A and B are shown apart, each in its own frame.
Chain A
């Protein structure tokens, strides 16, 4: 069987103001018909540039294919030299013989066209179908990607669909002309795990049914393990290693591949371990030796949340009246002990971030109490609240946006200290230097600006800022979600080290079950604003009791190709809306204690 795609020593350069920059420099791999090849690598490794080059879309981003060959076997059996093909020929190939799925389902669809129009455009252009024929085919396509109520969806606009449904439409668009090759560039990165599982299953089924080859670009080793026939590992624009999925996972040849695999937390690997454990990092043996010691002292409560409820108004009409309310957080109660980590997990929109913000009073809760160190945060005056902020700090998700681009790092780290008047002059300088040492950043960074640092380094700055006033509680809202796995592991290890040394308590808000299993003492699973299950890590992960927890855990992809499991892509359970009419009083949360300290919401 002849390869459908062969990429041979591809080199792509980007023209910039300071001369050409190499995007990828030595990439080679092949794809056989009906095969899934996963290109995996961290950000900046050139994986997207490679896929865009195959479509010759890279030129629209200012890139040029400088050297190497890109060959694509066309439908009629002729071999097309993609690098040299004319724009007219590429126009025929794109969308017709090669389909593409992009990462962001929100922006890949044009907001002013109906779903029908988005689907039929390509069909009429490439296949010369009439409007009626194209519409019929569009309906067929929506059925094949298992969109519920396809007839109605055709007439809808993208904003009327959920993220998962939009990605199904994007896939339907890519599949419209029955391409021989489907390029999927991080198609599930922006989606929740349960939806990710459905989409992965869908791509697999379509591949099987149509015998199409798939080039799957991802940063997620777990997704690779679930999807790939063969794997291409990329690092800094070069192919590091290629091999079958089993080879890569069981006997990686290159150090980089080994490091990448080591940094990936695997769900279930913490079974039977009493306390959180640091991530393994190749070349950092200290991490292996130092374990987070089980909390030996008598547990002492730091944070107590009682019946916390936060609702946001939905306004509308000319007078901007409140028409309904979003029940973001609904009757949430929990406690967090000194020196421990509570993980709040759940899918997007479940209210976990609102919960964290309500605790810090960054949004005003509707009702409920938040006690930190014996003080009711909710009852404080604005002045006292500002003072109380010294005890509770926050680390945000996006290290690019949570630092002010116009301020030097030392000033940003010093800001909380200045706010509380804790130090000035030489003492302040010394404290900031100490904080930089603490988070393992070189002091040379003190005078730099945020854009000069990588994502991981910035997140360290954000952690240093949070530590500056010796808080007791740090709320980490998806603090490592935007980072590459190896960097994520380093930052998590740093946070665990700080917890050990300083006795910090973390409220960790995350969607990533595998990471939370690694670092949490207690886990709370949130769904529709409520905690549906809460208990010790072992209790929740080893003995999930609530149906939602089970569903969530079964959807997490595991970074082990021998443990493939595919969700049935028919199991389509959209999350219910958290919007209720004014005056709606939901029932209070009632829990059953299934085991000591393990509570499950009664439905």
Chain B
């Protein structure tokens, strides 16, 4: 089990490192027009020696696009999830720990946000703020916050009732310190799991926004945009969906494995 855990961790770290390197180094190595250059004679060509992963409907090289798309997709997804944590964590923590009126007010607020589908909310925010990368991050980040806040609140509510929290209170610990030292470490595993799941959804949410013309603007590449573009040609050129799809899948896989290991590292019982 111990061995399996470390192997799993290594695979996760390996995958994430590769993806990060590709996202960082790709734009430096590839010519600036690599993602937009069209090869009109080789439209929808299956993978071959000229185009290792084939081309799309405009004859653009899939390999170059998936490499250059990595940066946009990951930048938006990671920033958006971080933002939702920054907003949702204190919200959920205070709500779950303090209970009573604070909890009621905060959670009704969150419920209001939850009543809208996340994508619709992101869409609205994005439409109001205008389409650019920064606003896409804000839109997805805010849209994901209520989900995270709900989960954190549930966990915090559970932990706040543990005898060790009462023991801390009995020994004169202030509420702030109890939240920081006792509640937070105990809800972190749930936050990590939720964050890794959210990342996958954030990549897809970015795709959705792009499809509606609010996220990444064509001809720039992002994984989500590529998946959306492949929609009409799944039967004739399935690789146009498979390539970006595989990139998303590998990233999520890597994150999940890494998340599991991170959780184990944080858990004193595994030491």
Contacts and interface: CB of A to CB of B under 8 A. Distances in A.
Interface of A: 17-18, 360, 362, 386-387, 389-390, 393-394, 396-398, 401-407, 415-416, 419-420, 449, 451, 462, 465-466, 468-469
A402 B166 CA distance: 8
B170 interface: yes
23 contacts: A17-B2, A362-B166, A362-B170, A386-B172, A389-B170, A390-B172, A394-B171, A396-B163, A401-B162, A401-B164, A402-B166, A404-B164, A404-B182, A406-B185, A406-B268, A407-B181, A407-B185, A416-B173, A419-B174, A419-B177, A449-B269, A449-B271, A469-B172
A18 B269 CA distance: 14
Nearest to A18: B1
Contacts of A402: 163-164, 166-167
A415 B168 contact: yes
B186 interface: yes
Nearest to A388: B172
Contacts of B169: 362
A410 to B, nearest CB: 13
B173 A394 contact: no
Interface string B152-186: 00000000001110111111111001000110011
A362 B174 CA distance: 13
Nearest to A468: B171
Nearest to A401: B163
Interface of B: 1-2, 162-164, 166-174, 177, 181-182, 185-186, 266-269, 271
A387 B174 CA distance: 11
A405 B266 CA distance: 11
B170 A360 contact: yes
B171 A465 contact: yes
A393, A415, A416, A465 pick with most chain B CB within 10 angstroms: A415
Given A17-B1, A402-B166, A415-B168, 15 more contacts: A17-B2, A18-B1, A18-B2, A362-B170, A389-B171, A404-B185, A405-B269, A406-B185, A406-B267, A407-B181, A415-B181, A419-B174, A419-B177, A465-B171, A468-B171
Q: Across the A-B interface, give the 4 residue pairs with the lowest CB-CB distance, nearest first.
A: A17-B1, A449-B268, A406-B185, A416-B171
A394 B167 contact: yes
A401 B271 CA distance: 19
Contacts of A393: 170-171
Contacts of A401: 162-164
Contacts of A468: 171
Given A401-B162, A405-B268, A416-B172, A462 B185 contact: no
A404 B186 contact: yes
Contact of A419 (B162, B172, B185, B267): B172
Contacts of A449: 268-269, 271
A389 B169 CA distance: 9
Given A405-B186, A449-B268, A451-B269, A419 B167 contact: no
A401 B164 CA distance: 6
Contacts of A466: 171
B22 to A, nearest CB: 35
B254 to A, nearest CB: 24
Given A401-B163, A465-B167, A389 B268 contact: no
Contact of B171 (A18, A397, A469): A469
B1 A462 contact: no
A419 B170 contact: no
A181 to B, nearest CB: 38
Contact of B174 (A17, A386, A397, A405): A386
Contacts of B172: 386-387, 389-390, 416, 419-420, 469
A389 B162 CA distance: 19
Given A396-B163, A404-B182, A406-B186, A415 B171 contact: yes
A406 B169 CA distance: 17
Contacts of B269: 405, 449, 451
Contacts of A403: 164, 167
B4 to A, nearest CB: 9
A299 B227 CA distance: 82
A389 B185 CA distance: 25
A166 B32 CA distance: 75
B174 A462 contact: no
Contacts of A394: 167, 170-171
A415 B267 CA distance: 20
Contacts of B267: 406
Nearest to B159: A404
Contacts of B171: 389, 393-394, 415-416, 419, 465-466, 468-469
Contact of B268 (A362, A397, A451, A465): A451
Nearest to B166: A362
Contacts of B181: 404, 407, 415
Contacts of A390: 172
Contact of B163 (A398, A465, A469): A398
A483 to B, nearest CB: 15
B163 to A, nearest CB: 4
Contacts of A407: 181-182, 185
A389 B258 CA distance: 43
Nearest to B173: A419
B52 to A, nearest CB: 42
A359 to B, nearest CB: 11
A101 B17 CA distance: 55
Contacts of B185: 404, 406-407
Contacts of B168: 404, 415
A475 B134 CA distance: 56
Nearest to A462: B167
B103 to A, nearest CB: 12
A18 B167 CA distance: 34
A415 B170 CA distance: 11
A419 B177 CA distance: 9
Interface hub of A390, A405, A469 (most chain B Cβ within 10 A): A405
Contacts of A389: 170-172
A375 B54 CA distance: 82
Contacts of B163: 396-398, 401-402
A415 B174 CA distance: 11
A397 B268 CA distance: 23
A553 B109 CA distance: 55
Nearest to B271: A449
Most buried by A among B163, B170, B171, B174: B171
Contacts of A406: 185-186, 266-268
A406 B186 CA distance: 7
Nearest to A417: B171
Nearest to A475: B170
A396 B173 contact: no
Nearest to B167: A402
A484 B269 CA distance: 23
Contacts of B182: 404, 407
A398 B164 CA distance: 10
Contacts of B177: 419
A419 to B, nearest CB: 4
- Point out which of A387, A403, A404, A468 has the most chain B C-beta atoms below 10 A from its C-beta: A404
Nearest to A394: B170
Contacts of A387: 172
